[in-house]
A and B are shown apart, each in its own frame.
Chain A
Amino acid sequence: MGLKDAVLTDLSAPEDLSLEASLAELEGIVRSLEEGELTLEESLKAFERGVSLIRRCNSLLDGAEQRIEILVGELPEDLAR
């Protein structure tokens, strides 16, 4: 999916994207802006989207704390917090 299409169609809300997906989309946006093939309006839209993706990633990084789950049984006492 070219960025042109992406800019025009509905994209996932940044809060729903995983870190990996956010980064991939962000990389795509940066490349498109650098290639300079977008119209002015598309550039501005892409830039806005890029900024919200960056914010999303940063909040994921800042809010990181260790989250552990166990599939079967109970977490050992020393790990459960």
Chain B
Amino acid sequence: MNRAFTVTELNQRIRDRLTSDLRLCDLWARGELSNVVNHRSGHRYFTLKDGESQIPCVLFRGNASRLDFDLADGQNVLVFGDVEFYRPQGRVQILVKAARLDVGLGEKHQELELLKERLAAEGLFDAGRKRPIPAHPACIGVVTSPDGAALRDVLRVLGACPARIVISPAVVQGDSAPASIASAISALQGIADVIIVGRGGGSAEDLSPFNSEVVARAIYQSAPPVVSAVGHETDVTVADFVADLRAPTPSAAAEMVRPDLERLGEALAGAEARMIRSLSASLDRRRARYLDLGRLLAGRRMMAIVSEERQSLDRMTDRLVSAEDRRMELFAARLEVAAGKLESLSPLSTLRRGYCIALADSGVIRRASDLAPGELFELVFAEGRLLCRSVKEMVDRS
């Protein structure tokens, strides 16, 4: 067996469980009154029932005094309150905060349904027409009661933000409310970049102004997008359907509309970094391109120059070669001529013609008188030599 709870502990557990369920608070319940007890303390006790079930209710003096009718058995009523667990007696009951006679509500309900159908058919509720909320509005408009808690919640959550906040006051309860709300929305046209429409603040407030056609059309025709912070968790009004965005509370609406300053700061720093990076990357690229081009240019130039030089070199070589050839030819020609000349000048060819050379000790004899009679001398012929003795000089007999 697990540990056993005391009754108190058990009841506390149940109570905690019930009070933590948000769906069980701020709700409306419909039924018939029975067992109404008007206690002398001023508190009212009764049972709310329908065909199959019932639930005990308690209405405390303060709230009871605000009723605009007297509770009596058999009445059909609407009560507004929280489900609570009365621990001492282990009883689930409704803590009633407000109550209304449920008279002709069937009709009102019907009317509301018809209105919703009509507006939906005209396209006022279309998801496609809902505009996005601007991320950085320069001006935020608030339509609400200037004395209500909703306004203060919105202002508190918005805090210090770069946007201007403009309050367009409206009466949010009673017969004049629909027209007042509608004109408050119109008054912000051309001024606000986004509009929050909120209730006054009391959770037991009548939401019917926000179910009116006048307000619905004003929201639909608003150029700046509208965030509605009107309905309860369980009560969705026509205004909520038409609005561009629906918030569960005025604080939540303010959150949705407020520019995210931190993210903005980060985005700015990011933008700066990106700009610096791309600019310096592009500068680097350009520098590299210029260097490359420069190198390319220099390379080409060199190639061109080298190529030119090579060609001149070839040309000169050709010229040199042909010049050399010519020289050789000339040389050969001259040589031949010279050789021919030499040939003819050569003593050998003279000797071959029959002449001979007379040689003595004193050398070549040119004159007969150079030789003494009886002197020895040589005679050189083309072939061979003779040793001779001169006899005597012959005198010419002429």
Q: Tell me whether A20 and B136 are in contact in the complex, defined as CB-CB below 8 angstroms, given that A61-B261, A69-B166 are known contacts.
A: yes
Q: Of B152, B264, B282, which one neighbours A43 at CB under 8 angstroms?
A: B282
Q: Is the CB of A65 within 8 A of B136?
A: no
Nearest A-chain residue to B156, judged by Cβ: A66
B286: chain A residues at CB < 8 Å are: 40
Q: Is the CB of A70 within 8 A of B282?
A: no
A72: chain B residues at CB < 8 Å are: 168-169, 187
Interface residues in B148-198 by Cβ distance below 8 A to A read 151-152, 155, 158-162, 164-169, 184, 187-188, 191, 193
Q: Of A18, A34, A70, A76, which one neighbours B274 at CB under 8 angstroms?
A: A34
Q: A57 to B263, alpha carbons, bound, how many Å?
A: 13
Q: Is the CB of A60 within 8 A of B162?
A: yes
Q: A18 to B137, alpha carbons, bound, how many Å?
A: 9
Interface-forming stretch among B26-34, B265-273, B337-345, B373-381? B265-273
B78 beta carbon closer than 8 Å to chain A:
no
Nearest B-chain residue to A49, judged by Cβ: B275
Nearest B-chain residue to A24, judged by Cβ: B136
B273 vs chain A, min Cβ distance (A)? 10
Total number of B residues with any Cβ neighbor in A under 8 Å: 42
Q: A30 to B281, alpha carbons, bound, how many Å?
A: 13
Interface residues in A1-58 by Cβ distance below 8 A to B read 18-20, 23, 26-27, 29-30, 33-34, 36, 40, 43-44, 47, 50-51, 54, 57-58
Q: Is the CB of A65 within 8 A of B160?
A: yes
Q: Is the CB of A51 within 8 A of B278?
A: no
B114 beta carbon closer than 8 Å to chain A:
no
Q: Is the CB of A79 within 8 A of B155?
A: yes
B169: chain A residues at CB < 8 Å are: 70-73
A35 vs chain B, min Cβ distance (A)? 9
A60: chain B residues at CB < 8 Å are: 162
B279 beta carbon closer than 8 Å to chain A:
yes
B294 beta carbon closer than 8 Å to chain A:
no
Total number of A residues with any Cβ neighbor in B under 8 Å: 37
Q: A18 to B164, alpha carbons, bound, how many Å?
A: 11
Q: Is the CB of B271 within 8 A of A30?
A: yes
Q: Is the CB of A61 within 8 A of B264?
A: yes
Q: Is the CB of B272 within 8 A of A19?
A: no
B154 vs chain A, min Cβ distance (A)? 10
A23 vs chain B, min Cβ distance (A)? 6
B275: chain A residues at CB < 8 Å are: 29-30, 33, 47, 50-51
Q: A55 to B135, alpha carbons, bound, how many Å?
A: 19
B147 beta carbon closer than 8 Å to chain A:
yes
Q: A6 to B151, alpha carbons, bound, how many Å?
A: 42
A76: chain B residues at CB < 8 Å are: 146-147
Q: Is the CB of B268 within 8 A of A75?
A: no
B110 vs chain A, min Cβ distance (A)? 36
Q: Is the CB of B271 within 8 A of A26?
A: yes
Q: Is the CB of A68 within 8 A of B167?
A: yes
Q: Is the CB of A19 within 8 A of B166?
A: no
Q: Is the CB of A68 within 8 A of B155?
A: yes
Q: Is the CB of B261 within 8 A of A64?
A: yes
Q: A58 to B159, alpha carbons, bound, how many Å?
A: 18
Q: A24 to B136, alpha carbons, bound, how many Å?
A: 10
Q: Is the CB of B161 within 8 A of A66?
A: yes
A75: chain B residues at CB < 8 Å are: 146, 167
For the complex of A and B, the 10 pairs showing the least CB-CB separation, nearest first, are: A33-B278, A20-B136, A70-B167, A18-B138, A19-B136, A64-B162, A71-B168, A34-B278, A65-B160, A68-B165
Listed by A's residue number, 16 A-B pairs whose Cβ atoms lie within 8 Å are A23-B267, A30-B271, A34-B274, A36-B278, A47-B279, A51-B272, A54-B272, A61-B265, A64-B261, A66-B160, A66-B165, A69-B165, A70-B146, A70-B169, A71-B166, A79-B155
